[in-house]
Structure formats: structure tokens, C-alpha cells
Amino acid sequence: ETNPVSKENSSLSTIVRRFKDSVSLGKTHKFWESQPVGQFKDIGDSNLPEGPIEPPTLLSEVKQEPYNLPSQYEWTTCDMESDKTCDEVYNLLKNNYVEDDENMFRFNYSQEFLTWALRPPGYYRSWHIGVRAKASKKLVAFITGVPARIRVRDEVVKMAEINFLCVHKKLRSKRLAPVMIKEVTRRVHLENIWQAAYTAGVVLPTPITTCQYWHRSLNPKKLIDVGFSRLGARMTMSRTIKLYKLPDSPATPGFRNMELRDVPAVTRLLRNYLSQFVVAPDFDENDVEHWLLPTENVVDSYLVESPETHEITDFCSFYTLPSSILGNQNHSTLKAAYSYYNVSTKTPLLQLMNDALIVAKQKDFDVFNALDVMHNESFLKELKFGPGDGQLHYYLYNYRLRHALRPSELGLVLL
Ligand code: MYA
């Protein structure tokens, strides 16, 4: 399967992905064909209206009991405020979550990251769903939702962001995932929410857009040593290290960490910026405080405060998501920063992102990753990002768009 753990593109991995994607387009999707999502057969049919595919039902008509699991398993609601449960979830994902195509790397979301990602303002405990083996009580599967307001054109829609779908490696291909998706859907419906947004590395019916990961080497020697990237043609290690060298400190006067007192100004800046995209989150001050105020080893945010006027003119952020390196003698973890939300009004975006690279390097990240969403295309090549082998498809549940979007029309980054 093609997955969104991305490493530098190689011709082999690209061929493998294109082949798999072409197979998946002709594949039947027993489960997904039964769901209110855009279907492959409807692509290009511009008679279908934009908006919800199915209307909401009365809450009393929502199924009141959980879906049936195979008899050896039981549902559990995971209390992400409990360190013990958080640790079980962490270990399930650490050993069974998303890998790249060649199984060299696996996402290793930290406990602090999971707590942050799963407990935003207004979160529902009931949307953190686990499956346990009845006999051993071992956690064997997981799926989550968190609430979000997402604007599609000029409509703000209450949605669930679905993430962390994971089935233990030993329980794969037994159709457990569809049951988990139906159960999270039921629990979202019980909160009177009828739409969802999610991303996946696999092609399903049907992406609203398909994005590509790009990677900027910060520690090229390690990236080459672990097989994340390869020495370019006619390149030596020392020339490569020189190529990716960065200044020791950011260049923009007034570039500093975001603080609590900046929340109103950052919210204004971000809301104004995101208004130009077709699909984007509708952030208020509470959301900005949660999602963008720096949290150690989870999310970093910087802004530019004009030294003269003290106005906040620019903003950039990235989150911390390490990957385990599978089967390397010398290194066990790849430290990756992922570009999150960036806004430039005065400092050129190129310069702002160069400063982001510099602070990421100071913080000892090995690589800085970015999708080709929003205005990211404008800096990727110039700042020496290279295309990755990972594609990331974005989806909406129970909401149809007339046409697929270009990645640059998307203003949403999911974790
Ligand atoms: S994306 C990250 C997904 N996780 C991983 O890649 C981790 C490693 N892999 C695994 O743990 C398993 O392989 C998973 C599938 C659990 C992915 N999204 O049980 P099965 C369909 C949606 O036999 P398994 C993320 O977390 C597949 O096409 N569907 O398969 C966002 C087939 O259906 P169909 C997927 O390999 C999740 C069926 O499942 C995905 O044992 C968003 C096969 O089931 C996928 N990533 O388990 C979920 N992979 O026959 C949707 C496979 O029709 C949310 N499948 O092709 C929808 C909105 C819900 C809320 C709505 C509210 C209103």
C-alpha cells in the first residue's frame, strides 16, 4: 500500500506507487461504495450538486448500540487523560501505524503529541475508540475523531477530523477497518455532526485533492546513512553537506516565538489568510491557542513582530513527528518537522520559510517536510526541498465537491 510516510523519491518507489494507484482505480470498494462519499463513477458529472450527499436524520433514528465486532473483541473508549491508556495507544501506533512503501520507516507519534492532537477545544471522549481482545484486554485497534469547523467555499461545516485508524498487524485484512469506521461514524452522528475530513496514503473513493510531500534535508549525512535519501549524481558527501548548510540564526528582524499574548493577532492574520482557499479550517482564538501556541516537542510557532510598529505581520509553524527507523544499526529515530500553517504579509514567504528551516535545524531536526498545499509551491524548489515518494489524498465524508481541487486551493493540514 502507498502510505503517507514519505522519503525522498527514487525512480523505483515512484514506479511502484504509480502501478499500485492505477490498480486501485479499477478496484471495487465493497465498503466505500456503500458510503456517502464521492464515487469514481461520478467523476466529471457536473450535474451532481455540491454539498451534503445525504441529509441528517433525527438523532432518535441513529443506531443506539455499537456495531458488532467479531466475538473475541470488545469496544473500549480510550480515556486520553489517563497516562496508562495513552501509553497503550502510543505502543499500538508505534508498532503498527503507517509505514512507507518499502517498510523502512514508521510514524512514531509521541504521547505528548497524541494528547495534543486528540484533546482540542470541545473534544468528545466517545470519539477515541479502541478495540481490545476480550481475553487478554490487549489494545488491538484504534480510530479517533476530533471536532472541527471546516469552511468549504462560503459554508462553515461542523465536521469530525478522523485520524489514527490502526489495526494490529496480526489482525489485518479481516474487514475490521470498515466496522471501526462505521462505529466512529455512529458516534459522530450522536453529536449531531454529519460530515468528516480525513487523509490517507491510499486511493479511496474519491480524493478532493492529491498532495505530494517534499523534503528539505537538514542533516543530509544521517538521511543518506539511513536510506531516507541518496547521494545525488556527481555529488560527494562533503558537497552535499555544503549544499544544505544553513545560517546559524534566523535573518528576519523581529522573528520570535509565538506567545499567549499573540493569540488575537495570530488569529486575525490566519483567518484572513485562510479565507482565500476553497477548503480550510475556520479557526477562532481558542483553536489558535490550542493548535498553534508552541508546545514543547509537539508544535513550534514563530512570528515576525515589526521592530518599529510592533505589528504582527508574518507567521510560520511546524509540528514534530518522528519516525522509527526500521532495522538500522546506527540510528533508531528520524526527527522530522512538518510544515503546518504559514502566513506572510510583509516578509517574503521564501525568507520566512528559510528562517523556519534555520530554527528547525537549531532544534536538531533531521528533515523538514512540507506538502504542496496553500502557497508552498512558491518556496519548495528554491529552498532545496526535493519531491518525496509519498502522496497524501484528502477526503470529505458526506460532502460532494463538483470538481477535485488543486493542492494550492487547499488550506487544511491534518496531523
Ligand atoms: S489514514 C492512516 C491509516 N492507517 C494506516 O495506514 C496504519 C497501517 N495500516 C492499518 O492499520 C490497516 O491497514 C488499516 C486497514 C486499519 C488502515 N482509510 O480491515 P480491512 C479500507 C479508509 O480488511 P486492514 C487515517 O487514519 C479498504 O479500502 N479506509 O483492512 C484516516 C477496504 O475497503 P473497500 C481504508 O488493512 C482514516 C477496507 O478498509 C484505509 O486490515 C480515515 C479493508 O478493511 C484507510 N486508510 O485495515 C477513515 N485503508 O473494500 C475513514 C484501508 O471498500 C473515515 N481502507 O476498499 C470516514 C469518516 C468517518 C466519520 C464520518 C462522520 C460523519
**Is residue 20 pLDDT above 90, yes or no?**
no
Q: What is the pLDDT of residue 338?
A: 98
Which ligand 1 atom is nearest residue 176's CA? 19
**What's the rounded Cα separation, in Å, for the pair 23 and 212?**
19
**What's the rounded Cα separation, in Å, for the pair 296 and 120?**
16
Q: What is the pLDDT of residue 15?
A: 60
Q: What is the pLDDT of residue 232?
A: 92
pLDDT digits (tens, 9 = 90+) for 308-329: 999 999 999 999 999 999 999 9
Which ligand 1 atom is nearest residue 397's CA? 58
Q: Residue 198 — φ and ψ, nearest 5°?
A: -160, 160
Which ligand 1 atom is nearest residue 174's CA? 23
Q: Three-state secondary structure along 338-378?
A: EECCCEECCCCHHHHHHHHHHHHHHCCCCEEEEECCCCCHH
Q: What is the 177 CA–ligand 1 centroid distance (Å)?
A: 5
- As a whole-number percent, the residues of the chain with pLDDT over 90 amount to 92
Measuring CA to CA, which residue among 268, 277, 301, 279 is closest to residue 116?
301
Please report which helix (H) or strand (E) contains residue 316, including its range: strand 312-320
**Is residue 17 pLDDT above 50, yes or no?**
yes
Measuring CA to CA, which residue among 191, 64, 76, 67 is closest to residue 142?
76
Q: What average pLDDT does the chain have?
A: 95
Q: What is the pLDDT of residue 7?
A: 78
**Is residue 13 pLDDT above 80, yes or no?**
no
pLDDT digits (tens, 9 = 90+) for 167-182: 999 999 999 999 999 9
Evaluate: CB of 167 within 6 angstroms of ligand 1: yes
Evaluate: CB of 31 within 6 angstroms of ligand 1: yes
Q: What is the pLDDT of residue 9?
A: 76
Where in the sequence numbering do the catalytic residues fall?
Answer: 415
Helices (H) then strands (E): counts for the chain: 10, 17
Q: What is the pLDDT of residue 355?
A: 98
Task: Return left, alpha or beta for 86; rule: phi > 0 is left, psi -120 to 50 is alpha, else beta.
Answer: alpha
**Is residue 22 pLDDT above 90, yes or no?**
no
Segment 332-337 mean pLDDT? 98
Structural Rg of the chain based on CA atoms: 21
Evaluate: CB of 148 within 6 angstroms of ligand 1: no
pLDDT digits (tens, 9 = 90+) for 141-200: 999 999 999 999 999 999 999 999 999 999 999 999 999 999 999 999 999 999 999 999
> In testing the pocket of ligand 1, which one of 167, 192, 208, 392 has its CB within 8 Å of the most ligand atoms?
167
Q: How many CB atoms lie within 10 A of CB 290?
A: 18
CA-based max dimension of the chain? 67
Contact 205, 39 (CB under 8 A): yes
Alpha-helical regions (H) of 119-247: 176-189, 220-225, 237-243
Q: What is the pLDDT of residue 218?
A: 98
Evaluate: CB of 94 within 6 angstroms of ligand 1: no
pLDDT digits (tens, 9 = 90+) for 368-405: 999 999 999 999 999 999 999 889 999 999 999 999 99
Q: What is the pLDDT of residue 4?
A: 62
At 11, the amino acid letter reads S
Measured over the CA atoms of residue 294, residue 299, residue 302 and residue 303, the dihedral's sign is: negative
- What is the ipTM for the molecules in this complex? 0.99
Q: What is the pLDDT of residue 2?
A: 36
- What are the strands, taking DSSP E only, across 153-286? 155-167, 195-200, 209-217, 255-257, 279-281
Band of residue 6 on the pLDDT scale cut at 50, 70, 90 = confident
Q: What is the 236 CA–ligand 1 centroid distance (Å)?
A: 42
129: three-class secondary structure by DSSP: strand
Q: Residue 124 — φ and ψ, nearest 5°?
A: -110, 125
**Is residue 342 pLDDT above 70, yes or no?**
yes
**Is residue 205 pLDDT above 50, yes or no?**
yes
**What's the rounded Cα separation, in Å, for the pair 413 and 374?**
10
**Is residue 140 pLDDT above 70, yes or no?**
yes
11 vs 364, residue with greater confidence: 364
Evaluate: CB of 202 within 6 angstroms of ligand 1: yes
**Is residue 260 pLDDT above 80, yes or no?**
yes
pLDDT digits (tens, 9 = 90+) for 113-122: 999 999 999 9
Which ligand 1 atom is nearest residue 398's CA? 63
115: three-class secondary structure by DSSP: helix
Evaluate: CB of 30 within 6 angstroms of ligand 1: yes
Distances (CA, A) of 6 to 108, 190, 262, 297: 14, 36, 33, 21
pLDDT digits (tens, 9 = 90+) for 265-308: 999 999 999 999 999 999 999 999 999 999 999 999 999 999 99
